[in-house]
Structure 1
Amino acid sequence: MSCLVREAEEEAGLGIDPRDVEFVHALHQLPGPGRRPRLQLVFRARAWTGVPEVREPDKCLGWRWFDPAALPERVVPYTREAIAHVRAGRPYAEGGWE
């Protein structure tokens, strides 16, 4: 949890108390032939302080809020997939292992 709190501050200028964070999903992926497996862990912050700001412009163009049912076209594929699983109430999913 300390990594999540540190990264939220470093990358977005947000202060998060670890007690306000909950685990919501794990996405275990094999992103393609010859690629290494990945485990994406997704957490939900119920509260935070600050206003999101771009602190790493080489990695992030901006912060915006979107309705999870109407995400923009340009969203990282595993992020889109994880959001769909969270919305469906599934705490774990696998992809690319077929």
Structure 2
Amino acid sequence: MIPHDRTPHPAAGEDQLTLVVGVHLVLTDAGGVLLGRRRNTTYANGLWHLPAGHMQTGERVTGSMSREAEEELGIRIEEEDLVLVHTLHHLDPDDGRSRLQLFFRPLRYGGHVHNAEPHKCEELRAWPLDSLPADTVPYTVHALAEIARGSVLSTVGWA
């Protein structure tokens, strides 16, 4: 028997949840996975992280990822060339917000990878998956481990 949900439901038109959606590019080659050291940022300044950003109002998630890849790395990825490899439901301990982090791998891309936002990224470097730097964003380490083991969904930060 399914217990009855006695949680009060919001009135019509009320928004129950504002979900922040992050998009992350998992770009790998024989040298490992591409990470950037964040610079002049409000979140994780100085830490290593995947090329990433947030979905903007009116964008499809694949459009967000394509835009971020071009802004941060100077490469063009067609939306249909993005494969979703992992979804992470993340409860951010800093602000208590629920975040959906989507991790994409490109089938192909155009252009040459370079640091297109040096004001936000100190350097780009490929790291072996089994020896990521100690100062990598924790949920990034988690997601990359999950991707390596073939998991498509995980959660972090929840009790």
Q: Is TM (by shorter chain) over 0.5?
A: yes
Larger relative contact order, structure 1 or 2 (CA cutoff 8 Å, min sep 6): 1
Give 1:63 shift: 1.6
Provide the identity percentage.
39
Residues 1-98 of structure 1 aligned to structure 2 (within 5 Å): 1-32=62-93, 35-98=96-159
Q: Secondary structure at the match of 1:69?
A: helix
Contact 2:76–2:109 (8 Å) recurs in 1 = yes
Structure number, greater radius of gyration: 2
1:7-51 deviation digits (Å, cap 9, x = unpaired): 111111011122321001111111227511111110111211222
How many residue pairs end up in the alignment?
98
Larger deviation: 18-27 or 45-54? Answer: 45-54
CA pair 60-33 structure 1, distance change in 2 beyond 3 A: closer
Answer 1 or 2: which has greater strand percent: 2
- Root mean square deviation, CA, Å: 1.6
Per the alignment, residue 39 of structure 2 pairs with: none
* TM-score normalised by L of structure 1: 0.88
CA distance in 2, matches of 1:66, 1:52: 15
**Which letter maps to 2:91?**
L
CA pair 67-34 structure 1, distance change in 2 beyond 3 A: closer
Consecutive aligned runs of 4 or more in structure 1 exceeding 3 Å deviation: none
* TM-score normalised by L of structure 2: 0.57
